Amino acid sequence: MPDILPALKALADETRLRIIDLLLTHDLCVGALAGHLKISKAAVSQHLQILRKAGLVRGEKRGYWTHYSVEKRAIHQIAEGLVKKTDHAPDFRVLCHRSGPDEINGKDMERRGLAMCKDCCREPDRLKGKPEECTPEQIRECHGDEKDHPCVFKKEEK
């Protein structure tokens, strides 16, 4: 994932996303992009610099102007990286020791370097709002005890 982080950061701006969208339809120069986006040429140049450094666009000199286009392979690599990450990600419900099967407990969690969740309920659908608003009856029904329950702890902090 770290290899696609700069590209994701570059795409985290609405204007840069709009630039990518425009460049997917046509190769455009800074002036044309500025006209379509209704922002200054200087602003477009700054956005293009960020996109270039992230490897998302390339410029090609044509006469006096540089026309920009999208590095489609880079976009595909981002998508593939995200797909791989989601395909290999474990089911989050199994990571919690209160909701997962007994064999997915302590040792497996420690091996993965993950802390066990201490702030979840076995049956969150029984809660009537935010966890800190749990009634003692809901806590007993969900956990059997109010002692050391995250909802009770949060109430006492206030």
For residue 2, give Cα distances in angstroms to 6, 17, 72, 77. Answer: 8, 20, 19, 12
Amino acid identity, position 117? C
Q: What is the pLDDT of residues 35-91, one digit of tens each?
A: 999 999 999 999 999 999 999 999 999 999 999 999 999 999 999 888 888 887 665
Side-chain-side CA neighbours of residue 60 (13 Å): 8
Q: Which residues pair with 55 in a beta bridge?
A: none
Q: Which are the contacts of 95, defined by CB distance < 8 A and separation ≥ 6? A: 104, 109, 114, 116, 117
3-state SS track over 141-157: HHHCCCCCCHHHHHHHH
Q: Look at the pTM and tell me if it is higher than 0.85.
A: no
Looking at residue 65, its pLDDT comes to 92
Does residue 134 surpass a pLDDT of 80?
no
Q: What is the pLDDT of residues 89-128, one digit of tens each?
A: 665 554 444 444 444 445 555 555 544 444 555 555 555 5
Domains of the chain: 2-74 (1.10.10.10), 90-118 (no CATH), 124-157 (no CATH)
